[in-house]
A and B are shown apart, each in its own frame.
Chain A
Amino acid sequence: QQQVKQSPQSLIVQKGGISIINCAYENTAFDYFPWYQQFPGKGPALLIAIRPDVSEKKEGRFTISFNKSAKQFSLHIMDSQPGDSATYFCAASKPETSGSRLTFGEGTQLTVNP
């Protein structure tokens, strides 16, 4: 059972534009929502993460928006650059007492054209 659904599967954006990737989750026990960036041949790298007690978190050009009632969260990449071209994964996990298991979305392949 896919507990985290991610869209779109692929996204093409012009340099300087805004990239938006959306995720929806089912399990209300999830309380930690990280985003990972993965380049070909590399492991996923933690980009930014949010807890459900805040509705938005911003780090540089990357912003997570969180809607607890809708069980949705999204990643916004402002002023997208060709170097941002990568695969992005949203994920969710339960409280630390349940361990470190991450449930991932399907991934979004982002291409930023120069």
Chain B
Amino acid sequence: KAGVTQTPRYLIKTRGQQVTLSCSPISGHRSVSWYQQTPGQGLQFLFEYFSETQRNKGNFPGRFSGRQFSNSRSEMNVSTLELGDSALYLCASSFVLAGGYNEQFFGPGTRLTVL
């Protein structure tokens, strides 16, 4: 099976712009989660989508939003970019294993630089 794919891999934007990142989960996985990774804050949960519905949301401002399509592909959008939004944005797809817990697999990430 192909792994989680994310596009683009690298992105450079300027303050005030908006950006859209894309994630294709592993085939058959219905849940997609997004995380932000920075040296200072580590890995922080942004939100999770399951069957096109947001199921969980982390503690990020409303400038961060996402959506999921019927084929489970997901996009996240960041509006009015700030310097502090520079980070590696990771997408993870998950599958419910026997026993009822989620095993999450991460993509390679999109490196966003805000100038």
Contact = CB atoms under 8 A, between A and B. Distances in A.
A44 B100 CA distance: 22
Q: For the complex, would chain B's binding face be called helix, strand, loop or mixed by DSSP majority? A: strand
B45 A107 contact: no
Interface stretch (A16-24, A67-75, A78-86, A92-100): A92-100
Contacts, number: 73
Interface in A1-51: 31-32, 34, 36, 41-46, 49, 51
B90 A44 contact: yes
Contacts of B103: 34, 46, 49
Contacts of A56: none
Contact of A101 (B4, B56, B96): B56
Interface stretch (B12-20, B65-73, B75-83, B104-112): B104-112
B43 A32 contact: no
Given A51-B101, A95-B100, A95-B101, A100 B106 contact: no
A107 B88 CA distance: 15
Nearest to A98: B56
17 contacts: A32-B101, A32-B102, A43-B4, A43-B107, A44-B43, A46-B105, A49-B103, A96-B100, A99-B50, A100-B102, A101-B33, A102-B35, A102-B43, A102-B45, A104-B44, A106-B42, A107-B42
